[in-house]
């Protein structure tokens, strides 16, 4: 049918229905447009909130992971000093009330500090979240695994399941965000081009019908935004929980590390600079410094084993923060530090 005839039919139909139909359709189109813009605006705001929480948590976890690797790597210096001491006794586990710190194991310690060195050397080329993945999965375990895979050329990102426990550590689920984003993008395209084009070309009657159709699409977009918002809220709550837990754990870890560094300096002064390498000639104070340094090393070793994250079994589930293990580690460290008269975070 020729275009003039189409326009003529459209004009006749518009006249029959009246101006009211076109106005009504225009109102529906405006409402749909407003709904679509509102949905898009809210979705963008939600995504921005997620990105901010994710960046904050990822950065904090990266800092913790790097610090743990630096602590583990420092055990090389401790071992070099400690192994100079002759006639030293076997240092037994520390036990008091419900606090227990395992005994010193030179072989295990070597695996850890060598592996930690491997990971640290590779972090410069790793992306955001790699170091945080080590903290999430347990830096001590990651270091031991790194030692076993260092000669194979295995990428750092694949160690200790880092791909599954990196930075965000939150499964985004089966597509609420993707569906919401895609749905709104599709709706905006239809609203901005196809439907408006048809309405302007044909006239009031089709304009009204298009208004009804696009209203449904706009409502669908709003519905998808709300679904995405609910999922994003859950993820952001998880990220905040992880961030808060990480901050408490890191504060305790750094407190123990500060005391350890002071003891390590004193031990180095005594053994290396002063040449005192015979345990039998140590004073009670020198023995105490040595024993406490060993206990501090073992405490840090155990703290760096803590997995901050429990990985969800299903891809559509959120991971969870390992509160039980984190809190136990903090309590153990604080109780030991308090009993020894060292500064604590409690």
HEC-encoded secondary structure of 174-214: CCHHHHHHHHHHHHHHHHHHHHHHHHHHHCHHHHHHHHHHH
Polymer length in residues for the chain: 346
Cα 186 versus chain centre, distance: 31
Structure tokens at 284: 């009670």
Decide if 325 contacts 179 (C-beta within 8 A): no
How much is the pLDDT for 10? 39
Cα–Cα nearest to 166, from 133, 138, 142: 133
What is the rounded (10 degree) CA torsion for 11, 12, 16, 22? -10
CA pair distance 286, 294, nearest whole angstrom: 13
CA pair distance 214, 275, nearest whole angstrom: 85
Alpha carbon of 301 to those of 60, 76, 143, 333: distances in Å?
A: 20, 13, 11, 11
In this structure, are strands 99-101 and 320-321 parallel, antiparallel, or unpaired?
unpaired
CA pair distance 53, 166, nearest whole angstrom: 15
CA pair distance 309, 243, nearest whole angstrom: 11
Which of 20-29, 140-149, 168-177 ranks highest by mean pLDDT? Answer: 140-149
Structure tokens at 10: 């459209």
CA pair distance 68, 19, nearest whole angstrom: 73
Please write the tens of the pLDDT for every residue from 107-120.
888 888 988 888 88
Decide if 204 contacts 25 (C-beta within 8 A): yes
CA pair distance 209, 13, nearest whole angstrom: 13
Please write the tens of the pLDDT for every residue from 171-224.
443 333 333 333 333 333 333 333 333 333 333 334 444 555 667 777 777 887
Cα–Cα nearest to 85, from 298, 271, 274, 260: 271
What residues are paired with 309 via a beta bridge? Answer: 321
**Percent of the chain clearing pLDDT 90 (strictly above):** 32
Decide if 29 contacts 211 (C-beta within 8 A): yes
Confidence label for 86 from pLDDT (cuts 50, 70 and 90): very high
3-state secondary structure of 102: coil
Range in 93-102, 268-277, 292-301 with the lowest mean pLDDT: 93-102
**Interhelix angle 204-268/19-82, nearest 10 degrees:** 10
């Amino acid at each position: 049918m020729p275009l003039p005839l189409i326009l003529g039919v459209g004009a006749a139909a518009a006249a029959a229905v009246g101006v009211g139909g076109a106005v009504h359709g225009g109102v529906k189109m405006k409402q749909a447009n407003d709904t679509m813009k509102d949905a898009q605006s809210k979705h963008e705001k939600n995504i921005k909130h997620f990105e901010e929480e994710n960046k904050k948590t990822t950065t904090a976890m990266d800092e913790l992971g790097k610090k743990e690797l630096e602590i583990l790597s420092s055990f090389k210096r401790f071992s070099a000093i400690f192994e100079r001491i002759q006639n030293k006794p076997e240092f037994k586990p520390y036990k008091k009330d419900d606090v227990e710190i395992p005994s010193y194991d030179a072989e295990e310690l070597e695996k850890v500090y060598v592996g930690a060195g491997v990971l640290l050397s590779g972090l410069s080329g790793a992306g955001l979240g790699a170091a945080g993945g080590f903290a999430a999965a347990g830096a001590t375990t990651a270091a031991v695994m790194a030692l076993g895979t260092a000669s194979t050329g295995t990428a750092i990102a694949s160690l200790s399941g880092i791909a599954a426990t990196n930075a965000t550590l939150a499964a985004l689920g089966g597509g609420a965000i993707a569906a919401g984003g895609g749905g709104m993008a599709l709706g905006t395209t239809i609203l901005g081009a196809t439907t408006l084009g048809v309405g302007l070309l044909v006239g009031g009657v089709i304009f009204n019908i298009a208004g009804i159709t696009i209203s449904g699409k706009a409502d669908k977009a709003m519905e998808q935004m709300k679904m995405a918002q609910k999922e994003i809220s859950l993820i952001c709550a998880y990220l905040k929980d992880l961030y808060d837990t990480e901050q408490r754990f890191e504060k305790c870890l750094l407190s123990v590390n500060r005391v350890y560094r002071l003891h390590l300096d004193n031990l180095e002064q005594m053994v290396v600079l002063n040449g005192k390498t015979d345990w039998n000639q140590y004073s009670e104070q020198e023995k105490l410094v040595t024993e406490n340094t060993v206990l501090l090393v073992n405490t840090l070793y155990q703290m760096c084993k803590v997995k901050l994250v429990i990985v969800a079994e299903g891809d559509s589930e959120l991971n969870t923060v390992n509160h039980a293990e984190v809190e136990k580690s903090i309590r153990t460290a604080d109780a030991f530090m308090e009993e020894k008269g060292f500064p604590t975070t409690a």
